[in-house]
Structure 1
């Protein structure tokens, strides 16, 4: 068993973990590992927003245009496609892309084919909304966790390696303990979100600045390999409880510190749904996320449903689950929205009441 914190990211602790050194977790999990040379990653969420079935073909074509750019020099090492319907009833199709080198991402963004398309006035005139939410956490500022070691997701794919079984999991506070920065820093938030260009409304190009220590989580599940009792339990009992919690964060999350939540379903390259989903949310702080996880009725219900699920199956799961959690410095965040409604992403709550 080993620590979630890679050896090259360890330092003398000034803040304690929530468990003792001889703690043994109840079941195994693993973390993605990157070479020590990888000091920072980039996670890019490139979205197309539309409303109504009549716009879906155009939205899909726009998403494919964005994804086509990934094949250019310095493109991402991995990408996914996903879809969700937001609280205002808009369809959002998103390409999620990962780089293990911020310099490569910067070169890619500056490529004329990418930059000129994004800046074109046509983006405000074609009836679609567009956004790109780019976060680039340093290695000390994020953690990953997987319940299987053989197929990584998200940023884990570009990190390339996998740990042994981890010690820091299976207890409240383990998410914080897995982030290397937690060894010396409380990761408390400071400042506020700010509009730095435009105004949150359709017909606008809007840029939002994030504040210090916004927390972000992508937490996913894949049930394609489930069968029999496990599949029945997941689809009939666990997923509906998960969806209810995700909808609460989408619709009412601002009141508890959740700026934005999307419960997304993966799509294949042709736009067909896969048996994979994830929640993506941005929070005022890691502490706000922890409070929801530990005590809010919607997450208590999710946790209780999951524990009943794994106990009924004696911890022998075909369901794959994972997450990636980042605590983001202000200079690790860039949020841009074109012709999107005011509740989109990090604009949520910043428009006129």
Structure 2
């Protein structure tokens, strides 16, 4: 029996229609994370450390600090770490943590914030990007139900096969709020200076996507096919968003390699980007040449391998209210994360 991506307790009388008819049958299975109905809000917090070249001691110390904080009382239910080199040539190590209890997150966050962006560290910048969305403003999608990533790790489990996927507009249709709300952006980001800290105050319906790939289960021939034919096209699209995304509503994009506990690279990656709106993200996905090429390469790969494909794909998308967001930067370059958004509006 096909399930709706929207859980039963969040279904409501629609004033906005889905993009597909009720009898739509997707061409392949996909799954979504299911929270306990008692979970009304989650927290996702990105802690970044930024430096040039080889990691200075201060960067290593910062990463130890955040790991220690995560292990303290009210720490996250799950966290992972990834790295990338940004458009200005800086190394960035980003640790993202997830909570399914916002009261616990709030109790934990105030002292952690002081440690992270309230303390100068020689030769490094630090930043915090936090969303605390209600579950109505959030969706996930997985190609396989047996390995959660990102926010789904803190969910109660996975759904059965869901209907709302494999068509343009599926992402929106999986967000419970889309039943009654267009989720249009309202306002523009502003810069606030708080001593050495730079804070970006955004607006209702800013959009975040984390979209990942895991090729750790692939055999030699499938791995070669992915790394030779799909990954370079994906990287090209990710670099376009990183370098030129502002013109199409992408404030910042990071294409990151996930790190193992010892800091070595894994066979997992994800793109994480901040968008002016869900509509801007949809336009890129549906029609921009860079994403059309990514989609084409992925479809060719999956149709070549069929059900035997071992590549795992997932994403999570949040459309956040203004009071669910926090962006803070200390000693980071002006194109870091949401600083790029205020740079463009003349801050």
TM-score range, shorter chain: over 0.9
Matched, 1:100 2:123: no
Give the Cα–Cα distance (whole angstroms) in 1 for the partners of residues 57 and 298 of structure 2. 37
Note the aligned Cα RMSD (angstroms). 1.4
What TM-score, normalized by structure 1, do the two folds share? Answer: 0.95
Give the Cα–Cα distance (whole angstroms) in 1 for the partners of residues 224 and 72 of structure 2. 43
Question: How much does 1:156 deviate?
Answer: 0.4
Question: How much does 1:61 deviate?
Answer: 2.9
CA contact (8 A) 1:50 1:59 kept: yes
SS of the aligned residue for 1:27 comes to coil
Question: How much does 1:226 deviate?
Answer: 0.6
Which of 324, 333, 350 is the aligned partner of 2:342? 350
Length, aligned pairs only: 344
Query: 2:300 maps to what in 1?
Result: 308
Aligned pairs (5 A) from 1:1-353: 1-53=2-54, 55-111=55-111, 114-118=112-116, 120=118, 123-198=119-194, 204-351=196-343
Give the Cα–Cα distance (whole angstroms) in 2 for the partners of residues 176 and 88 of structure 1. 33
Give the Cα–Cα distance (whole angstroms) in 2 for the partners of residues 195 and 322 of structure 1. 33
CA contact (8 A) 2:58 2:121 kept: no
The C-alpha deviation readout for 1:265-294, integer Å capped at 9, x for no partner, is 100111100000000001001110000000
Give the Cα–Cα distance (whole angstroms) in 2 for the partners of residues 316 and 290 of structure 1. 29
Give the Cα–Cα distance (whole angstroms) in 2 for the partners of residues 285 and 327 of structure 1. 8
Question: How much does 1:32 deviate?
Answer: 0.3
SS of the aligned residue for 1:345 comes to coil
CA contact (8 A) 2:84 2:254 kept: yes
CA contact (8 A) 1:60 1:271 kept: no
CA contact (8 A) 2:48 2:95 kept: yes
Segments of 5+ residues of structure 2 without an aligned counterpart are none
CA contact (8 A) 1:63 1:94 kept: no
Give the Cα–Cα distance (whole angstroms) in 1 for the partners of residues 255 and 193 of structure 2. 28
Question: How much does 1:350 deviate?
Answer: 2.1
Give the Cα–Cα distance (whole angstroms) in 2 for the partners of residues 57 and 243 of structure 1. 30
Give the Cα–Cα distance (whole angstroms) in 2 for the partners of residues 289 and 43 of structure 1. 20
Question: How much does 1:210 deviate?
Answer: 1.2
Give the Cα–Cα distance (whole angstroms) in 2 for the partners of residues 256 and 281 of structure 1. 13
Segments of 5+ residues of structure 1 without an aligned counterpart are none
Give the Cα–Cα distance (whole angstroms) in 2 for the partners of residues 37 and 309 of structure 1. 40
Q: 1:182 to 1:239 in 2, by over 3 A?
A: same
Give the Cα–Cα distance (whole angstroms) in 1 for the partners of residues 83 and 306 of structure 2. 33
Question: How much does 1:110 deviate?
Answer: 3.0
